[in-house]
Structure 1
């Protein structure tokens, strides 16, 4: 299998709105290697989150090709994409997207159950302990702080041991201390499981910890460079 785990070849994304067709991404060519941490930065509206959604098959490219683990995501239907994400990807959003009627343990166990894991709740409990929430297993999202909810979201994404973890502004809604803790946990995933991380961020300190930083501007790659902190 290739060392390249994610790739885009001349990928484009256009959306049709009231004012007509709008080009969101234009001719993106990018390769992400297995185990790499990649930061996506740039001004608001530059296409960072849209690029992340293409990489995860959550948006369908309107031009070019998107591949993950040597599979062509642009050729898959929605059911196949959902199965692929279930088996190979974790996604962390800025707004957590926890199920409010489920406890922390149930939220984390849900993707494991959907994947048919017989030990879903044991693995979920282990992952919650790994993010420092061993005493909060039976708490509901509404009983938790923003930092704790983001830890649950991270545990949920990490519990299936995904090959790829995509994170959209994972520290954006958090204060400095909680943001730093989430950063440590994200990069700890690579150390513990070899997970490939792709992160959208406005936080310079988070981007600086990545192996490589891609700057987007007006839907195109403006620059690609090694992060300052090696």
Structure 2
């Protein structure tokens, strides 16, 4: 990413998907600029397009129209292989539902995307990342042996292990009780601060959004300052 580049820059981005009764407009002409190191909380009702916004920014969903630059790169111009390599080096994603591989240990889950990206010290990085979220004693445990909070911390470790420029977090506490969720969020903001990465966070929790340096609202596929 060159000096002066936005971490995330959307211009006129729309997403339209087919539906049973015709095309459904998920995102509508979204303009958004997020600076490097900024933390942005996105709030809005269910169905507003919040998760779709993250999926488009990550390249997991293709925008129907508009321009999308992430870490200075034109995401819309990349093929699937280039997008996978780009995410591996620049974007970490924290999912609400953890998305851990049941047959892999915590260490293997964190190391997997690094191995796919051919990072030579994948397991060393994975171990360091798990230690950073307080799971040095859980390296060899499988997801079924971990609590929900521990599974989400594995998700955090996986997202940060590649030392990405940008972290996208989709309701990271949605499946956790309040106390456990607060512990996970403390880890998330601590890691973001220590690494200097950009954080784009989707949440229904106003207090969580208020922890970000800027808050946005979404409704009917449109983004506005909150």
The normalised TM-score by structure 1 is: 0.95
Alignment partner, residue 191 of structure 1: 193
* Counterpart in the other structure of 1:31: 33
Structure 2 residue aligned with 1:214:
216
Q: Secondary structure at the match of 2:7?
A: strand
Aligned length in residues = 224
Distance (whole Å) between structure 2 residues aligned to residue 189 and residue 29 of structure 1: 28
- For residue 44 of structure 1, what is the aligned residue in structure 2? 46
- 1:124 counterpart (123, 126, 133): 126
Q: How far apart are 1:114 and its partner, in Å? A: 1.9
The residue matched to 1:50 in structure 2 has which SS? Answer: helix
Q: Which has the higher contact order (CA 8 A, sep 6+)?
A: 2
RMSD (Å), alpha carbons: 1.0
1:106 aligns to 2:101 (yes or no): no
Deviations 1:125-184 (A, max 9, x none): 111111111111100001111111000011011111010010100011111111111111
Which residue of structure 1 aligns with residue 202 of structure 2? Answer: 200
SS in 2 for 1:19: coil
Aligned pairs for 1:106-185 (under 5 A) are: 106-185=108-187
Q: Tell me the distance in 2 between the aligned counterparts of 1:189 and 1:136.
A: 19
Please give the per-residue CA displacement for 1:87-139, whole angstroms capped at 9, x wherever unaligned: 11101110000000000011011122222222221221111111111111100
After TM superposition, give the deviation of residue 189 of structure 1 in Å. 1.8
Q: Distance in 2 between matches of 1:56 and 1:118?
A: 24
Offset from partner CA, 1:25-50 (integer Å, 9 cap, x none): 11100000000001110011111111
- Which residue in 2 is equivalent to 1:6? 8
Give the Å deviation of 1:71.
1.2
CA contact (8 A) 2:45 2:219 kept: yes
Secondary structure class of the residue paired with 2:113: helix
How many Å separate the matches in 1 of 2:32 and 2:119?
Answer: 34
**Which of structure 1's runs of 4+ aligned residues deviate more than 6 A?**
none
1:228 maps to: none
What residue ranges of structure 1 are gaps of 5+ in the alignment? 226-230
Which range moved further: 180-189 or 27-36? 180-189
TM-score relative to the length of structure 2: 0.96
SS at the partner of 2:66?
strand
> 1: CA distance between counterparts of 2:10 and 2:121?
36
